[in-house]
Amino acid sequence: MRDERVGQVSETPKNTLQYRVDGPEDAPVLVVGPSLGTTWHMWDRQIPELAGTWRVLRFDLPGHGGAPAQPAHSVAELGDRLIATLDGLGIQRFGYAGCSIGGAIGADLALRHPHRLASLALVASSARFGTADEYRQRGVVVRTNGMDPMARSAPERWFTAAYAAAQPAIVEWAVQMVRTTDPACYIAACEALAAFDIRADLGRIAVPTLALVGAEDRVTGPGEARTLVAGIPGAGLAVVPGASHLAPVEQPAAVTDLLVHHFSTAWQETPPPPPAPSATTTPSGSSEPPAPFPAPGPVATPAPFANPSPFPAPGPVATPTPFPNPAAFPAPGPFGTPTPLASPGPIAPPPAPTEPLGLLAPPTPEPPAESAAPGEPSEPAEPGSRAEPTAPAEPGNPAEPPAPAEPTAPSPHPDPYELGLRIRRDVLGGAPVDAETARADAFGAGFDELATRHAWGQVWSRDGLDRRTRAAVALAALASGGHLDDLAAHTRAALRAGLTPAEIEEVLIQTGVYCGLPAASAAVRVAGAVIREETAPRG
């Protein structure tokens, strides 16, 4: 039966997500997840058609679209909140489509809760997003300047130039949406993306999967989609011409058709057999015991919407709100004249297709971009990692077979080098550390290794202080010692650890009391130059 009531929107208890439900109560559930900086309205153009067949639950990321500002710091945490939301509604099994970070949440669920997912669409998504440095850098910019730089630069990352030029109202909608996102939640989501990397786990995704990507997406483009398809067994690829990152907005009809086709034809009614005795292990090591597969429960009626959003409650399901909710902004709706929702067509004439619309193409034969030649390790060695030289074999002595090796107990003090390198890259940034490690020639290599092992592996790794405090201590010590090169690097690290420029200045002011104003003044000059450079919006 078609749900004729006002689209249900949620109250949002802690550790769940704000959501809205459209579609018949007794239909199979399709969960739809947004990209970073957007709200559930990014899917408005798909809903009329999807909600004809599925009960569509759309959710907002924390602090987005007026959802409570409870930052989630990892993709798994977002997935856990979604599962808690669905559990609260009695939803066991569902299809899932997510855009970008929304796709990452879906892929993570496919790895940790495979029995919950019937089908998966990864839209403009990736197994890893850019570089960790890039997303941490966004955190630095937002902490210092607020959301404005991200808001102003969003349209050029999200839309093709032709579309942005033809659709100023939608550009304005995008800018406003990012601008009204809670900064702490946005930064937390950037941290989540920085740490997200499931490249080694793709082969374990056993849910029927479609990777869908805009041909002109420069954030997570066709290359990333091909990596997903090459890694996920049986996955299909669809490349949408004339679309950039927010393909569901820019090419609504094509994306809707692809999703309808995928979820109509690749829906796994029964879950795959439970995994072998070892529980499903997450990339981060947590595990979920193989669960029984309860029949899909009824969808309970959620609590009435308490309107946590600054936007008015969405319109009724039967006559879905034109995209986006026109009351969200005083200005005319960003999509201008609403296109009839039953047959949403592209708003701007798309540029001439550069690639055919790959409808559910069979898995690309191409290897993953980063796959190695046969016989080589599939992952390139971590930059800076040390390969242990193998001792040359002793000339054989047939009369004296080698003594059987003593079983060796694992050392209670494992070599902290690898841990140190990980923390050093995390704190100072992968790129600068890799550059420095690569520069360390035979002469400097020993020192570089000692510093990594000792300072980072044995001191920065200790639990007694958090990273912010350690960053402040490092600044004070380097300033008082006059180590200005290292102070510059650690000013970057302090910003990445979450200190604001004002806090860094406070640290240096107080340092001056104990080490003398000339030393502090030199430090202020160096730190100031770094801060100006690091906090300048980069688009």
Ligand X SMILES: O=C(O)CCC(=O)CC(=O)O
- Is the CB of 219 or the CB of 254 nearer to ligand X? 219
Using the minimum distance from each CB to ligand X, give the nearer residue, 248 or 420: 248
Q: How far is 249 from 234, CA to CA, in rounded Å? A: 27
Q: Hey, how many other C-beta atoms are within 10 angstroms of the C-beta on 348?
A: 17
* CB 368, min distance to ligand X, A: 20
Q: Does 219 bind ligand X (CB under 6 A)?
A: yes
**Cβ at position 438, least distance to ligand X in Å:** 28
DSSP 128: B
Task: Kindly state the greatest CA–CA separation across the chain.
Answer: 92
Among 25, 70, 144, 157, binds ligand X (CB under 6 A): 157
Q: Considering the complex, what minimum distance in angstroms separates the CB of residue 114 from ligand X?
A: 23
Candidates 12-20, 30-38, 287-295, 445-453; binding stretch for ligand X (CB under 6 A): 30-38
Residue with tokens 């990445």: 496
Contact indicator for 104, 129 with CB cutoff of 8 Å: yes
- Which residues in the 255-284 window bind ligand X by CB under 6 A? none
Query: Which residue's CB is nearer to ligand X, number 100 or number 227?
Result: 100
Contacting range for ligand X; rule: CB under 6 A; set: 35-43, 310-318, 361-369, 386-394: 35-43
Q: Is 180 in the site for ligand X (CB under 6 A)?
A: no
Work out which of 154, 427, 494, 504 binds ligand X, going by CB under 6 A: 154
Residues 473, 489: Cα–Cα separation, whole Å: 14
152 contacts ligand X (rule: CB under 6 A): no
DSSP secondary structure string for all residues of 178-196: HHTS-HHHHHHHHHHHHH-
Least Cβ distance, residue 36 to ligand X (angstroms): 3
For the bound state, the minimum distance from the C-beta of residue 28 to ligand X, rounded and expressed in Å, comes to 26
188 lines the binding site for ligand X (CB under 6 A):
no
CB of 483 to ligand X, least distance (A): 35
- Residue closest to ligand X (Cβ): 100
Q: Does residue 185 touch ligand X according to CB under 6 A? A: no
Binding part of the chain for ligand X, among 33-41, 51-59, 262-270, 317-325 by CB under 6 A, reads 33-41
Among 30, 36, 237, 258, binds ligand X (CB under 6 A): 36
| 121 is a site residue for ligand X (CB under 6 A) | no
Residue matched to tokens 């994306």:
255
Per rule CB under 6 A, is residue 72 in the interface with ligand X? no
User: Should residue 37 be labelled a site residue for ligand X when binding is judged by CB under 6 A?
Assistant: yes
**In Å, what is the CA distance from 89 to each residue of 20, 57, 303, 314, 375?**
12, 11, 10, 20, 49
Q: How far is the CB of 35 from ligand X (least distance, A)?
A: 3
Task: Closer to ligand X by CB, 135 or 456: give it.
Answer: 135
Distances (CA, A) of 247 to 28, 56, 228, 285: 25, 19, 17, 33
Q: Is 100 in the site for ligand X (CB under 6 A)?
A: yes
Strand order of the sheet with strand 94-99? 8-9, 19-22, 55-59, 29-33, 94-99, 117-123, 209-214, 236-240
Distance CA 421, CA 456 (A): 7
What CA–CA distance (Å, rounded) separates 32 from 58? 5
Comparing CA positions, the residue from 344, 328, 324 lying closest to residue 336 is 324
Percentage helix, strand, coil for the chain under 3-state DSSP, each rounded to 5: 45, 10, 45
Decide: 25 and 90 in contact? Cβ < 8 Å.
Answer: no
Contact 63, 182 (CB under 8 A): yes
Amino acid sitting at position 156: E
Which position among 10, 12, 35, 74 is part of the footprint of ligand X (CB under 6 A)? 35
Which DSSP category does 197 fall into?
B
Q: Is residue 101 a contact residue for ligand X (CB under 6 A)?
A: yes
* Count of residues that bind ligand X according to CB under 6 A: 11
CA distance 459 to 166: 55
From the list 25-33, 34-42, 416-424, 460-468, the region that binds ligand X by CB under 6 A is: 34-42
Residues that bind ligand X (CB under 6 A): 35-37, 100-101, 129, 154, 157, 193, 219, 245
